[in-house]
Chains A and B, each alone.
Chain A
Amino acid sequence: DIVLTQSPASLAVSLGQRATISCRASQSVSTSSYSYMHWYQQKPGQPPKLLIKYASNLESGVPARFSGSGSGTDFTLNIHPVEEEDTATYYCQHSWEIPWTFGGGTKLEIK
């Protein structure tokens, strides 16, 4: 199974600043054309919400302050400027091979 390691496990960012979340895969999940890495946001008491697909493509309706980047084994989710409503736990997920797996999550707090 591909293991996804997220860092940090938690972070606190001041309102209006940048939040950066990393996800490292145990093997490459990219081809020359696509990276099979996706990002979800989960707010307390809610199911996850798909934010970004294929490393950098925002899902419809997701604010442009969210962005994703990376390829191979290293991926990043950026949120800038952070807003109060971004308080949530963020998960990466790969779709390179079965089984699909998720990272352990990064809990974001807005100061």
Chain B
Amino acid sequence: EVKLLESGGGLVQPGGSLKLSCAASGFDFSRYWMSWVRQAPGKGLEWIGEINPDSSTINYTPSLKDKFIISRDNAKNTLYLQMSKVRSEDTALYYCARGAAYYRYLFAYWGQGTLVTVSA
């Protein structure tokens, strides 16, 4: 069974940094593109970016490119999202998502999300 478990969320001050993790199990993590998607409270979904299996290609939503860094450790089956210079509008539930086989943009599997709250 595919499982994705995000962690690392919490309260962070404006201008601060935070690193989120997503532990994957139940599939060969090293073979799949992975994405981060966020959802502000009561709002819609926003795709942050994706990383390919060997980390050679990382794509971001342009407006968020300077704020987030996506990385992965295939030996640890873990995906990461480094957040920096956070602002109140970064308050959201952060999901990691796995694409379907051969189709990285079809988000067939999601974690439950980790909540990041930006507040002084």
Q: Which residues of A approach B to under 8 Å, CB–CB?
A: 1, 36, 38, 40, 42, 47-50, 53, 59, 91, 93, 95, 98-105
Contacts and interface: CB of A to CB of B under 8 A. Distances in A.
B104 to A, nearest CB: 9
Instruction: Name A's interface SS.
Output: loop
10 contacts: A47-B95, A49-B110, A93-B45, A93-B105, A93-B107, A99-B49, A100-B35, A100-B47, A100-B105, A102-B44
Interface of B: 35, 44-47, 49, 59-62, 95, 97, 100, 103, 105-108, 110-113
Contacts of B46: 102
**What 6 A-B pairs have minimum CB-CB distances, sorted nearest first?**
A47-B110, A95-B105, A99-B61, A102-B45, A105-B44, A100-B47
Contacts of B62: 1, 99
B45 to A, nearest CB: 4
A27 to B, nearest CB: 16
A31 B60 CA distance: 24
Contacts of B95: 47
B44 A53 contact: no
A101 B47 contact: yes
A96 B111 CA distance: 24
Given A1-B62, A99-B61, A47 B108 contact: no
A58 to B, nearest CB: 13
A100 to B, nearest CB: 5
B110 A38 contact: no
A50 B108 contact: yes
A98 B106 contact: no
Contacts of A99: 47, 49, 59-62
